[in-house]
Structure 1
């Protein structure tokens, strides 16, 4: 009861900042630790008096006390900065929110979207990095339709010519099974003056394997070699796992040998799948030899 009483008083004293800060000191002297409501109330009060530095100090203090800022915490700061025309500071707070993390996936998405719209409404010019964060958040929450809208907005503002942006969107599309649009985006890159990087290829190969399109994944692997892109351990492990899932054991074993020959290791999933194969084919010597090379590294 005493704790709730203090918080109610803090809200009442938002316009009387000195009393509110004194009340905070009194709380702590009585061994009552401030919570999220306490800090949000004080940050709001400090912002009302244009005490930006003090508000940021409180934000830092609350995170040091392991109190995770919520959407409202950052929204208070961004909103007040924007109203004062302090767009650079608003952008810094937005970036701080992204760097600090601490939100669950849904909460982080909500915070990102809310602050993004606040900044836009206040005339904050968009940055590719800001859009990338928003796209990533939308895709990870399965809101790919909204992500595509944001992507087209970027294109309209000539901010979409960035391979990182395409990687995020292609990955999001593949994760929700929308391979048709992902494929179109991937193959449209050269026309846009962009070259896929290793992550672009890996994302697309993962998408093909997920849908059981092993031939397309294999073609992409060959294309990587033809374009002087060196497949990495993730590339090989992804396609080998896809081959094994499709019972393309011979091709998988050939690729494992190539991967090991290049100094890469099979991951634990592939090693486990090989063990399962050996249990059904205990007399397969080539599989035994391959497993000997694979198991010591992974199991």
Structure 2
């Protein structure tokens, strides 16, 4: 498997979830071994942010990257699309301090990347492979990672709401499956929480156009849900995006129970800080030669999306 970038630059504009202001995004091709780099327009020129678990400076409402006084918010939906489409190298220009929320899903970013096209590069893809069982738990929520030749997640949510309740879904990351079953799943929140946040000048860009809003009994949005289990699908989308903040592809099977951005980042920091025990860095080989470090290759079936 070789590294990939996009074929041409593409751009879009939208509303920032935090500020409620118009923000813009431009995606540019990048050279081999560049990785995903954010270029944040500060008014005094661009400041650059590289992906790293420690670069996460905020996990309230969304994932925010930063260094010093430079920050870019709501990166997880875009990062999920970049990861799912197999893009290794890309320059992300952001004007306004936030990635636009669009419709609250990753569908617009997938369309943007499809329009940009993919270009294969010469160097092999770099992978961080989970090489032993590792877990992080907090207040009855947990993430368990295990060795696996790819990226697979079993996700469970449990909300005390008649329309949500307990939902479980398994997802194996592949571009077509991501587009079909995860990319269109929107972020969601509860009406009383949204009203409270906006009274404190938070989530000013949140609306029925970019989020599923729930009252005590059901969905406020007149169009309803896109999927019966749209809630757990969106949590998987967020997890894919939050796990994409390494300088390379992450491989493993992840069992997730009631996580959020904060626990996702705590897990990623844990495995990176303990990477000598938890991870192995390697370069991808042609498909017929792949071997997962630390275990025998037994021709395991890759689980299909359920």
Compare CA radii of gyration and give the structure with the larger one: 1
**Which has the higher relative contact order, 1 or 2, with Cα contacts under 8 A spaced 6 or more apart?**
2
Using the size of structure 1 for normalisation, the TM-score is 0.22
Higher strand residue share: 2
Using the size of structure 2 for normalisation, the TM-score is 0.22
